[in-house]
């Protein structure tokens, strides 16, 4: 029996199991009552909170469309779904620090603030800190730097998300059991490790490992900070860029489950932070692959859930939507061809690096650049699909972008392509695929929430992002 057939048989069976669990645990409420949910004999021992940074409903659907004949994403098979608003205390369009604080503490705060009150006068206790007080082990996982806004909101307190050198050492003082994923931006100088953070972590009882062998040899009962191959910002690479045996988000989740499992249970927060970065760059193909990477990590938690269905709660959401992604655009009307995005082989980041090298060498012609566009984006290769043909207008636009890039011109947002040519190629492929973007920034669009397991029915309905933390606190009995 083929793997594909097994998956097609298993997916409906899993949906049926999830629905049975849902109906046994109760109906949809969507309201935080202040009382423990009915129908729960005891709090879940294991709680997962997955946060897809920048991940709206359109990003999820895009990933499924680009996957094609592969099984649907795991999160879309969850029996419970809801919708959460995301505004900050002082702005309708939130940022990751304010939204992360809401998801971590159940309280609104101001833009740029890490787990502190809106006026930055008091620290706010996170669900992770409450879980540790209850005796649960705690893990924080992200594929961006571990001191970035979202993960920081669960273990640190700072008036500014940009205070990386202040945030990173709070990993050590948190006493949490496991940090996994990216390096710490606050311990980097020009992309290289610098400062006392590694020594601080080790002096605080953490074993620091930076490769697959170290992670696989980690033993339960010890505290760990584990990171993979990282770039100048401390983040792991994009899924679309491959990397052979490089550690992915799912690896850190699987390791975390193994290290944290115990009699008192655990709480684990997992962030797919590079969905947001790809959306800032308006790179649809890279976005789709990052959502897929995030869902693969979720699959590791689901495997654990299937062994402990009555004791586990998994909640999946986003801190905000990014980019105003639309499946359909003005140029294409009712045409949508997401399959074209499968021809993109590298992220905007990797290709932009190539363009910068071309500019430095000065020996790459426009014709050679178009050959690279064909190899890495499929653009101009009608043997793949006639829709990939470049029109005279598109060639003229790309010629102008090429000249600007070769002369050192820059383009895009802070997270986006650093040169006009890469921006033009990504935009052209997006347009042909029927993908539209309204912004290079966040939006106020409500975000989806998915839940499965013990107490999952409480996440049905429409509510605010602060209610997600409040529901977890009630269901898991984290506060007296």
User: How many alpha carbons fall within 13 Å on the CB side of residue 379?
Assistant: 26
> Nearest 10 degrees: CA dihedral of 398, 399, 405, 410?
-50
- Could you tell me the pTM of the whole model? 0.93
DSSP per-residue codes, 327-382: ES-TTTTT---GGGGGG--S-HHHHHHHHHHHHHH----HHHHHHHHHHHH-TT-T
Q: Are 279 and 239 in contact (CB under 8 A)?
A: no
Q: Are 6 and 426 in contact (CB under 8 A)?
A: no
Q: Can you tell me the mean pLDDT for 370-378?
A: 98
Q: How far, in Å, are 235, 259, 401, 432, 437 from residue 327 at the CA level?
A: 28, 40, 26, 12, 9
Percent of the chain clearing pLDDT 70 (strictly above): 90
Q: Which CATH number fits domain 17-325+445-475: 3.40.30.10, 3.40.50.300, 3.40.720.10, 3.90.550.10?
A: 3.40.720.10
pLDDT tens for each residue of 56-69: 999 999 999 999 99
* Beta pairing class for 80-85 and 447-453: antiparallel
Which of 52, 85, 115 minimizes the C-alpha distance to 293?
52
Dihedral sign for Cα atoms in the order 171, 175, 181, 183: positive
Residue 38 is predicted with a pLDDT of 58
Q: Is the pLDDT of residue 19 over 50?
A: no
Q: Is the pLDDT of residue 5 over 50?
A: no
pLDDT tens for each residue of 295-313: 999 999 999 999 999 999 9
Percent of the chain clearing pLDDT 90 (strictly above): 87
Q: Are 106 and 145 in contact (CB under 8 A)?
A: no
Q: Can you tell me the mean pLDDT for 324-332?
A: 96
Q: Are 291 and 278 in contact (CB under 8 A)?
A: no
Q: Can you tell me the mean pLDDT for 412-431?
A: 85
Q: Which residues are CB-neighbours of 106 under 8 A, at least 6 positions away?
A: 127, 466, 467, 468, 469, 470, 473
Q: Which residues are CB-neighbours of 138 under 8 A, at least 6 positions away?
A: 128, 131, 132, 174, 176, 177, 178, 260, 266, 267, 268
Token pair listed for 148: 């970035």
> For residue 451, what pLDDT band results from cuts at 50, 70 and 90?
very high
Q: Are 38 and 26 in contact (CB under 8 A)?
A: yes
pLDDT tens for each residue of 194-239: 989 999 999 999 999 999 999 999 999 999 999 999 999 999 999 9
Q: Can you tell me the mean pLDDT for 17-26?
A: 46
Q: Are 105 and 124 in contact (CB under 8 A)?
A: yes
Token pair 């040519």: residue: 421
Residue 418 is predicted with a pLDDT of 77
- The helix-helix angle for 420-433 and 366-377 (nearest 10°) equals 40
Q: How far apart are the first and last CA of the chain?
A: 52
Mean per-residue pLDDT over the chain, rounded: 93
- The helix-helix angle for 392-406 and 420-433 (nearest 10°) equals 150
Q: Are 333 and 321 in contact (CB under 8 A)?
A: no
Residues of the chain with CATH 3.40.720.10: 17-325+445-475
Q: Can you tell me the mean pLDDT for 121-143?
A: 98
Token pair listed for 27: 């109906």
Q: Can you tell me the mean pLDDT for 270-278?
A: 98
Distance CA 329, CA 430 (A): 9
Residue 342 is predicted with a pLDDT of 98
DSSP per-residue codes, 28-79: ------SSPPTT-SS--SEEEEEEETB--HHHHHHHHHHHTTSPPPGGGG-S
Which SS3 state, helix, strand or coil, does residue 226 take? strand
Q: Is the pLDDT of residue 292 over 70?
A: yes
Token pair 């605010």: residue: 464
Kindly state the DSSP code that residue 239 receives in the 8-state scheme: G
> For residue 34, what pLDDT band results from cuts at 50, 70 and 90?
low
> For residue 15, what pLDDT band results from cuts at 50, 70 and 90?
low
């Amino acid at each position: 029996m083929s793997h594909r057939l097994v998956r097609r048989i298993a997916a409906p069976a899993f949906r049926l199991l999830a629905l049975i669990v849902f109906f046994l645990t109760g109906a949809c409420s969507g309201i935080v009552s202040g009382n423990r949910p009915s129908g729960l004999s005891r709090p879940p021992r294991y709680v997962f909170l997955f946060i897809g940074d920048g991940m709206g409903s359109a990003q999820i659907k895009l990933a499924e469309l680009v996957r094609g004949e592969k099984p649907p994403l795991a999160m879309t098979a969850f029996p419970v779904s809801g919708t959460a608003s995301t505004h900050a205390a002082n702005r309708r369009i939130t940022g990751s620090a304010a939204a992360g604080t809401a998801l971590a503490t159940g309280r609104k705060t101001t833009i740029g603030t890490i787990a502190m009150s809106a006026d930055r006068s008091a620290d706010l206790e996170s669900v992770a800190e409450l879980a540790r007080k209850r005796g649960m082990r705690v893990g924080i996982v992200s594929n961006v730097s571990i001191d970035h806004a979202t993960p920081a909101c669960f273990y640190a307190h700072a008036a500014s998300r940009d205070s990386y050198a202040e945030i990173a050492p709070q990993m050590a003082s948190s006493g949490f059991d496991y940090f996994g994923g990216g390096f710490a931006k606050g311990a980097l100088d020009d992309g290289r490790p610098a400062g006392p953070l590694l020594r601080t972590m080790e002096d605080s009882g953490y074993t620091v490992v930076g490769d697959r062998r170290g992670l696989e040899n980690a033993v339960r009962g010890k505290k760990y900070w584990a990171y993979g191959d990282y770039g100048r910002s401390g983040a792991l690479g994009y899924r679309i860029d491959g990397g052979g045996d490089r550690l992915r988000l799912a690896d850190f989740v699987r390791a975390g489950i193994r290290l944290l499992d115990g009699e008192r249970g655990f709480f684990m927060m997992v962030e797919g932070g590079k969905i947001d970065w790809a959306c800032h760059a308006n790179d649809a193909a890279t976005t789709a692959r990052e959502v897929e990477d995030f869902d693969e990590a979720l699959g590791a938690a689901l495997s654990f859930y299937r062994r402990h269905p009555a004791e586990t709660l998994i909640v999946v959401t986003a801190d905000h939507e990014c980019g105003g992604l639309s499946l359909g655009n003005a140029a294409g009307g009712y045409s949508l061809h997401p399959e074209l995005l499968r021809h993109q082989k590298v992220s905007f980041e990797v290709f932009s690096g190539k363009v910068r090298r071309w500019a430095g060498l000065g020996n790459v012609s426009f014709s050679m650049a178009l050959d690279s566009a064909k190899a890495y984006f499929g653009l101009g290769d009608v043997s793949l699909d006639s829709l990939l043909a470049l029109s005279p207008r598109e060639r003229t636009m790309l010629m102008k972008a090429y000249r600007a890039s070769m002369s050192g011109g820059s383009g895009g947002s802070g997270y986006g392509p650093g040169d006009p040519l890469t921006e033009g190629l990504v935009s052209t492929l997006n347009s042909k695929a029927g993908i539209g973007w309204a912004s290079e920034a966040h939006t106020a669009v409500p975000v989806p929430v998915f839940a499965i397991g013990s107490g999952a029915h409480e996440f049905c309905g429409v509510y605010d992002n602060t209610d997600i933390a409040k529901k977890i606190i009630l269901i898991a009995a984290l506060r007296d």
